[in-house]
A and B are shown apart, each in its own frame.
Chain A
Amino acid sequence: MTPPGTQHRSDDPDGTVAQLESLAERVLAARRPGDAVEIVLSHSRGTSVRVHDGAVESLTSSDSSGAGVRVVRDGRLGFAHCGSLDLDVLLGTLEAASDNCTFGEPDPHNGLVEPDGVPVVPQQGWTPAVEQRSAEQRIATALELERLVTGRDPRVVAARSTTYGDASSTSVIMSTTGVRAGERSSSSSVSTQPMARSGDETQIGASYDAARDPADLDLHRVADEAVERATRLLGARKPPSGRLTVVLEPRLALGLLGIVSGMLSGDAVVKGRSPFADRRGEVIAAPCITLWDDPTRQESLGAEEVDGEGLATRPNQLIADGRLVDFLRDGYVGRRTGEGSTASAVRGARSLPGIGAQVLVMSPGTRDLDELVATIDHGLFVNSLSGLHSGVNAVSGDFSVGADGLVIRDGALAEPVRELTLASTLQRLLLDVREVGGDATWLPSGHRGASLVIDDVAASGA
């Protein structure tokens, strides 16, 4: 059985996508009459290397399969997943999903998406370079990074761990409502956590990079950043409490806006869990903030041709010059609000889709980081934030996190501080942004971030 309305398929030179598609077709063909069924299949092979003190600590060879089946019948939803691509197991999973369907309560908005005519923006997510890497090359990359890290500064005595990893994945999504899409993708990454010592004190820094092709990994940048983050905190003390101006580097700015994007999820909006639910068209942030979710951007490592329900991804503007433009929707919320999906379903094969931003893109300001710091009399340049999961509440907006960093005094970076908290509310933080940096960068997380300067944040210390 081939569903109508065939969508898109990436390059598939050796037929790995076609193999999964044919498996998916066989499962869909076995569905109960009247069931609407969606199946996601994925297969991934990867290698990861962890090195320590010039030697391999572990070398892992992984081969993972996953499948998820969603069934909708009479407005009821059931889901089942498994870690296998054996046809028998998949048919059992279909049956389990269909049985689970019996117990959910009906909702007229439950259903599966139908292709909505938005064309796919092709992505080059796959390269043969990953699979062509030898074990020796993979190990050599990790060891090289560790050498760079431990050779940068005499105070860096070791790295807690240094890793290299890569993977090649294939996935397909197919449904009885006409969705049919397949993608291959490759990824590679390196990470390191150097430890800097001075007397009895130890500070850990961290950095990582990711790329489609391992040859594009920037080991020197990772080593520089990680070492700087460890060494610049040596001698840090607990500062006094007070209100100050905070500077967040692009990666930390993105961490903050990532939480905000979750509050703009249509699911939170329709279920009364977003403080921004009734604010569309209103000013929710400083006028310097413009934010998109755009998974079509080829420069991004997070770029995808289709979302977790198989619809072509598309650019969605969330905030324009501080004004709330739109929320993110999946098929369910699109039907419930009558506005359609924004193709913002995110998922793994083993989970039901949820709504999330895929590739956040911040519009940059003009001044670089040094110029921003020079404008601040009394502030904090943040090195790291902790407790983002335990002290930030996306429903109430309460925001309270641990921090360390460098004091900004009279327009220049000064002494290091640690063991302090930063607190505000997410609503206030957005309005208190004074400036966005001109240093917009594509981050290894796939997002495009720029520095943020935020005024009047409560810092709690001694």
Chain B
Amino acid sequence: MPTDAIPLLDQDVVGRVIAAALTRGGDFAEVFVEDKQSSSALLDDGRVEELSSGRDRGAGIRVVVGESTGFAHTSDLSELGLLEAARTAAAAARGAGAGGVAAALVPTAGTARTSAAIPPGEVAKARKVELLLAADGHARSTGGAITQVTARYADSHRRILVANSDGVLAGDDQVRTLFSVSCVASGDTGMQTGRESVGRTVGFELFDDHDVTELAGNAARRALSKLAARPAPSGERTVVIGPGGGGVMFHEACGHGLEADLVAKGASVFAGRMGEQVASSLVTLVDDGTMDGEWGGASIDDEGRPTRRNVLIQDGVLVDYMWDTLRARADGRAPSGNGRRQSYQHLPMVRMTNTYLVGGSSSPDEIVADTADGVYIAHLGGGQVNTATGDFVFGMTEAYLIEDGRITEPLREGNLIGNGPAVLAAIDAVGNDFAMGSPGTCGKDGQGVPVGDGVPTLRVASGLTIGGTAA
């Protein structure tokens, strides 16, 4: 029973709080309890600068009447504090008078593994400091041109309990561990930066599978290679994206546009296109919160629904959007486990989890060899999308020219811009070398949540414009 493992709140208290939330009427009431502990350590300028730790706990209570939601949150987890927040939420919901009815609570379990084999809280702080020093030492050992190194270790332990008037009662224990290295390389042409990070929904066992010196080496190599980089071209080019690094493109090109809340408001270029061909037939796009240990995964979403593997685009055809409880209720269907929130102080909304392009059959080497002229992007930065037009940008942080089917000179950083539907239609090769990418934080309406992504090598034949300065 998940709730036994997570004694954040007594089940009877939860029931009374939901009842209080519905005293002024309402179609739906929910209590979300969160207790989050985090710690981090930062090395910069050759020295472990500081260790930080934090704890935030509280509850958010919402009451839904029709399309209108009342929400209140409190850091007071006593029954009195919770009841007061429930009454505030009920008043904010401006309920329809008579009391609402809550179903009996039925505990449910999620599917993904989100607990830690080695809880980071039980690992000596000195051990975390050792990792930072090892990363710093290795990055600097790659050459004198590495003039600055920042290494950061962070972990979080988030326990949640969600209960609602539909009878949902679920809990989860989510441990995430993250390590990142950023390097500055200096040369005659100025300074360049390189970054590498790894993050998973696991505990300190992360470092059994990931060597921080290897991360540091990658970050350093990325910075050093750009010292000799030439300005990126401008204008449209054929673009090959390497394995792992390119998931951000799908996150922006179509991920946000497939969120049901934006679709319902007509703010997505993918609204009204269900069942249509919206991408090349090589594209099968999945959002999967159940992926074992991946950064954007969890056993349940922040509305207490088990996460799922949801196919969004199958062989180029749009087959589903992503849903939270409110949008699913309005459409008379089941939620898809995509209701997420930054913290107990925020309302949930439709969010991605781990979004990825399913691998294809082409050999990555052949994809490059088959490209006469273009740009190869080995590592992407963040991105941004205007969901109404589908126009999106994403950054390239490690990129090279492709000349006569060969990867040649490194390019300086920049953004690429494209239009989601046009770019999806122009994908003409998908490799057989699928890999997940770096951990990300997705921002929407002011809330940040951890997300993962992944792609195999793929080629976009047209539709991407490189934001460089060279002709």
Contacts and interface: CB of A to CB of B under 8 A. Distances in A.
A104 B51 contact: yes
Interface string B50-79: 111111111000000001111111110000
B165 interface: no
B167 interface: no
Contact of A401 (B236, B415, B468): B415
Interface in B255-295: 262, 265-267, 269
A203 B386 CA distance: 9
A387 B50 contact: no
Nearest to A67: B54
B413 interface: yes
B89 A458 contact: no
A83 B184 contact: no
A271 B148 CA distance: 7
Contacts of A23: none
Interface string A46-57: 000000100111
Interface stretch (B20-28, B137-145, B388-396): B388-396
A28 interface: no
A419 B148 contact: no
Interface stretch (B187-195, B300-308, B312-320): B187-195
Chain A at the B interface: mostly helix, strand, loop or mixed?
Answer: strand
B361 interface: no
A461 B415 CA distance: 12
B245 to A, nearest CB: 13
A420 B47 CA distance: 42
B122 to A, nearest CB: 15
Interface stretch (B1-9, B331-339, B367-375, B377-385): B377-385
Interface in A383-442: 386-387, 389-391, 393, 395-398, 400-402, 404, 418-424
A389 B448 CA distance: 15
B266 A57 contact: no
Interface stretch (A58-66, A254-262, A297-305): A58-66
Contacts of A89: 55
B351 interface: no
Interface in A201-232: 201-204
B209 interface: no
B58 A83 contact: yes
Interface residues of B, number: 81
A77 B49 contact: yes
Contacts of A57: 67-69
A241 interface: yes
B469 A396 contact: no
Given A58-B347, A82-B54, A84-B75, A460 B386 contact: no
B357 interface: no
A83 B57 CA distance: 7
B395 to A, nearest CB: 3
Interface in A284-303: none
Contacts of A104: 48-51
Given A83-B57, A391-B467, A103 B48 contact: yes
A452 B394 CA distance: 26
Given A100-B52, A204-B267, A59 B184 contact: no
A81 B52 CA distance: 8
A327 to B, nearest CB: 16
Nearest to A204: B388
Contacts of B92: 59-61, 135
Contact of B345 (A62, A241, A396): A62
Given A272-B186, A419-B419, A423-B468, A160 B56 contact: no
A459 to B, nearest CB: 8
B51 A63 contact: no
B54 A105 contact: no
A64 B190 contact: no
Given A58-B347, A103-B48, A402-B467, A390 B393 contact: yes
A352 to B, nearest CB: 7
Nearest to A390: B395
B386 A352 contact: no
A59 B93 contact: yes
B68 A58 contact: yes
Q: Which of A52, A81, A400 has the most CB of B within 10 A?
A: A400
Contacts of B190: 275, 396-397
Interface of B: 41, 44-45, 47-58, 67-75, 88-89, 91-94, 125-126, 128-129, 147-148, 184, 186, 190-193, 226, 232, 234-236, 262, 265-267, 269, 345, 347, 381-384, 386, 388-389, 391-395, 412-419, 445, 465-469, 471
Given A78-B51, A272-B148, 20 more contacts: A60-B347, A62-B345, A78-B52, A80-B54, A84-B57, A97-B53, A161-B445, A201-B389, A204-B389, A270-B45, A271-B148, A275-B191, A390-B384, A391-B413, A396-B191, A400-B469, A421-B415, A421-B466, A423-B234, A460-B235
12 contacts: A63-B75, A64-B345, A83-B57, A103-B128, A105-B49, A160-B388, A195-B388, A271-B148, A272-B191, A398-B412, A419-B419, A460-B235
The 7 closest A-B pairs by CB, nearest first: A421-B467, A390-B395, A391-B415, A400-B414, A460-B234, A387-B393, A83-B56
